[in-house]
Amino acid sequence: MKIVDAKVVVTSPGRNFVTLKVTTDEGLTGLGDATLNGRELAVVSYLEDHVVPLLIGLDAHRIEDTWQSLYRGAYWRRGPVTMAAIAAVDVALWDIKAKAAGLPLYQLLGGASRDRIRTYGHAEGRDLPELLDSVRARLSQGFPAIRIQTGIPGLTSVYGVHTTDTDDKPVPHQGAQPLVEDWDTEAYLRHIPRVFEAVRAEFGPELALLHDAHHRLTPIQAARLGQELEPYRPFWLEDCTPAENQEALRLVRRHTTVQLAIGEVFNTVHDYQTLITEQLIDYVRSAVTHFGGVTPLRKLFDFAAQYQIKSGIHGPEDISPVGMAAAVHLDLAVHNFGIQEYSGHNALTREVFRHAYTFTDGHLHPGEAAGIGVELDEDLAAAHPYRQAYLPVNRLHDGTVHDW
Ligand code: GCO
Ligand code: MG
């Protein structure tokens, strides 16, 4: 079965998504997500200018060989642009292979290891009463686990606390210049333990609570936060430091038993080597879309499993339904599944990308459609073209740029 066409579709049904559509001489098509928030067009060029010409004529069944030739053949390895492009090809080819077999993708990955996929949702509030209301709203949607983020006294805008559109999804900041958020680590460190205390007092000991520090702390600050959160037993503390410095986690780990999750900005297994082999973390966070696809993420999970580390796939709204679908198939199949982040998408996005996966009672299931189970409405996609939009930058009170 030969690849006869591959095209890149960019659409913005609320936020930007980049999708690769691969077509074979047998008429089968496959979709892959290549969305890299704020750098979308770099991946479009990488695909259109440098990858699509290589794909035409290849055997669509040779997924591993195609992956290796795109990764090794470019000479310039790794990096988010490269790995998002390779991910799109990989997922599109898995979609085609599963369609050719007449099976949902999870069946080709070993079949279901569980009946349904536990998720966590996001609760957020500018202050505590707003956060408590938001937790109640997530509970009423059935979420068994909830990430809590709040405004910090003295700061005007903070990570994870968004303005929302009518469909309750964060609206990305559009235009040529990113929004500037402000940051004060000491104010944050004073506030967050009080937030956990209040949420536990309101909702009791059983609710799984998560928190994302979004790479803002030094190792010793992260260690202190971990210690102070221990009495409230968080499910995990995410991205406590910028973990491209993997050795930093040795220091954090020495001081706290809080479970640690890391990896949404990582794109190869090499970013995890020390973290996994020294058992410095508990959950690996990479997304199918940013890690080169299902093929390498499956290998990462198998590697992590030898160290009792589980999956916690990144699932923000900037992963398209195509990327989410691939994640949900993998979640169902791997033994060391931990939890799946689930932000969902607005109604228009769900029309552009009609998907077979379902969300019921706080749990996802990939559905039984052959392939990954997503159909792209190309006319509707074309009616909502790319809009320039960037993630915020983060500055201290004196104007210094801080980690975001
Ligand atoms: C998360 C993430 C996201 C990222 C976003 C960047 O844990 O879901 O931190 O909120 O910031 O995906 O594009
Ligand atoms: Mg995160």
Domain span at residue 57 reads: 3-104
pTM exceeds 0.75? yes
Please check whether residue 364 is in contact with residue 331, taking contact to mean a CB–CB distance below 8 angstroms. Answer: yes
Kindly state if the Cβ of 318 falls inside 6 Å of ligand 1. yes
Residue 397 lies in a domain: no
Residue nearest to atom 1 of ligand 1 (CA): 316
Cross-strand partners of 401:
395
Predicted pLDDT at 158: 81
Q: What is the pLDDT of residues 36-66, one digit of tens each?
A: 999 999 999 999 999 999 999 999 999 999 9
- Reported confidence tier of residue 173, pLDDT bands at 50, 70, 90: confident
Mean pLDDT across the chain? 96
Task: Identify whether residues 181 and 81 lie together within a single domain.
Answer: no
Predicted pLDDT at 4: 98
* Distance between CA atoms of residues 145 and 131, nearest Å: 15
The identity of residue 288, as a single letter, is V
Nearest ligand, measured from the Cα of 342: 1
Kindly state if the Cβ of 286 falls inside 6 Å of ligand 1. no
Q: Give the number of domains in the chain.
A: 2
Q: What is the pLDDT of residues 179-207, one digit of tens each?
A: 999 999 999 999 999 999 999 999 999 99
Residue 64 lies in a domain: yes
Count other Cβ atoms within 10 Å, centred on residue 115. 8
Q: What is the pLDDT of residues 124-136, one digit of tens each?
A: 999 999 999 999 9
Task: Identify whether residues 37 and 118 lie together within a single domain.
Answer: no
Q: What is the pLDDT of residues 309-327, one digit of tens each?
A: 999 999 999 999 999 999 9
* Distance between CA atoms of residues 224 and 140, nearest Å: 33
Predicted pLDDT at 157: 83
* Distance between CA atoms of residues 164 and 161, nearest Å: 9
* Distance between CA atoms of residues 250 and 264, nearest Å: 19
Q: Which of 181, 318, 339 to mutate to test the pocket of ligand 1 (most atoms within 8 A of CB)?
A: 318
Task: Identify whether residues 77 and 202 lie together within a single domain.
Answer: no
Q: What is the pLDDT of residues 340-381, one digit of tens each?
A: 999 999 999 999 999 999 999 999 999 999 999 999 999 999
Task: Identify whether residues 35 and 116 lie together within a single domain.
Answer: no
- Within 8 A by CB and 6+ apart from 373, the residues are 104, 105, 325, 355, 356, 357, 366, 367
Kindly state if the Cβ of 38 falls inside 6 Å of ligand 1. no
- Reported confidence tier of residue 162, pLDDT bands at 50, 70, 90: confident
CATH number at residue 54: 3.30.390.10
- Percent pLDDT > 70 in the chain is 99
Kindly state if the Cβ of 40 falls inside 6 Å of ligand 1. no
Nearest ligand, measured from the Cα of 341: 1
The catalytic residue positions are 159, 214
* Of residues 398 and 158, more confidently modeled: 398
Task: Identify whether residues 68 and 151 lie together within a single domain.
Answer: no
Render 14-72 in DSSP notation, one character per residue: SS-EEEEEEEETTS-EEEEE---TT-HHHHHHIIIIIIHHHHTTSBTT-HHHHHHHHHH
- For residue 243, how far is its CA from the centre of ligand 2 (angstroms)? 12
